[in-house]
Amino acid sequence: MNELAKLAIDAHGGLDRWKRFSTLSVHGINGGLLWGAKGKAGVLDDVTITVDLRNENASHWPFGSPDRRSRFEPQRVALENAKDGKVLEELLQPRTSFQGHTLETPWSDLQLAYFVGCAMWTYLNTPFLLVRPGVESEEVAPWQEAGETWRRLKVRFPSDIATHSTEQTLYFDHRGLLKRHDYDVEISGGTPAAHYVSDLREFSGIVFPTKRRIFPRQPDGHSAPDPLVVSIDLDQFVLS
């Protein structure tokens, strides 16, 4: 683990404390233009998100209606009955279903479940996923923004982790706290995104951003001021 990765992990609560937990549940309010562009406006406006902190899986409930929840894993995504877990629909090797997609291509419910599952698993496990097997990171040139200097980590993910893109960039302030997260959304034609986080708060000794705002990323690396692609407001963090 390089020095910046260690600084970031320590600033967000430390690896020893993180390892005490295996599951995170959080309440989320989603907004932004993406959901309507994909034909899924309103499906996930107000949800409870549960992510595994050891293995890559996640769930959203309710999923369009209170009797449905999603179940995401890298090689399988499903919609289940929220009461008894009965599988209503499933899709194996879901990432292959996005071939040829652009930002404007509509999603099926199962494709939506895959996207939000891999996205929220990545977000809520950051920066601790830097120590997962196969994840590589190196510090690159710092970045000037908002009157501050942010240190940057270039992160490369192994093929067995489902996430936005193989290469991503994390930005940290002088304390090691996350400020921004860049990636290209491969399943939407490689759309470049600049993902800002704010209102960091501590829950059970772990520090999480409670506000997330995602904008288009321009060729020079700066974000476009609009449109707001996705907004995520989080509360009710429960680690167990």
- pLDDT tens sequence across 167-194: 999 999 999 999 999 999 999 999 999 9
Q: Which amino acid is at 166?
A: T
Question: Are the CB atoms for 36 and 42 separated by under 8 Å?
Answer: no
**C-alpha dihedral sign at 33, 36, 41, 47:** negative
List the domain boundaries for the chain: 3-232
Distance in angstroms between the alpha carbons of the first and the last residue of the chain:
26
Query: What CA–CA distance (Å, rounded) separates 97 from 153?
Result: 30
* Confidence (pLDDT) at 231: 98
Query: What CA–CA distance (Å, rounded) separates 233 from 231?
Result: 7
* Confidence (pLDDT) at 143: 98
Residues of the chain with pLDDT under 70: none
- Omega before 66 within 30 of 0, i.e. cis: no
Global confidence as pTM: 0.97
Q: Which amino acid is at 178?
A: L
* Confidence (pLDDT) at 211: 98
- Tally of CB atoms within 10 A around 225: 8
Domain spanning 3-232 has what CATH number?
2.50.20
Question: Are the CB atoms for 46 and 60 separated by under 8 Å?
Answer: no
Q: Half-sphere exposure of 216 toward its Cβ, with a 13 Å CA cutoff?
A: 11
Report the chain's C-alpha Rg in angstroms: 17
CB burial of 166-184 (b: ≥16 within 10 Å; e: otherwise) equals eebbbbbbeebbbbbbbbb
Query: What CA–CA distance (Å, rounded) separates 155 from 99?
Result: 24
* Confidence (pLDDT) at 103: 85
Q: pLDDT of 77-90, one tens digit each?
A: 999 999 999 999 99
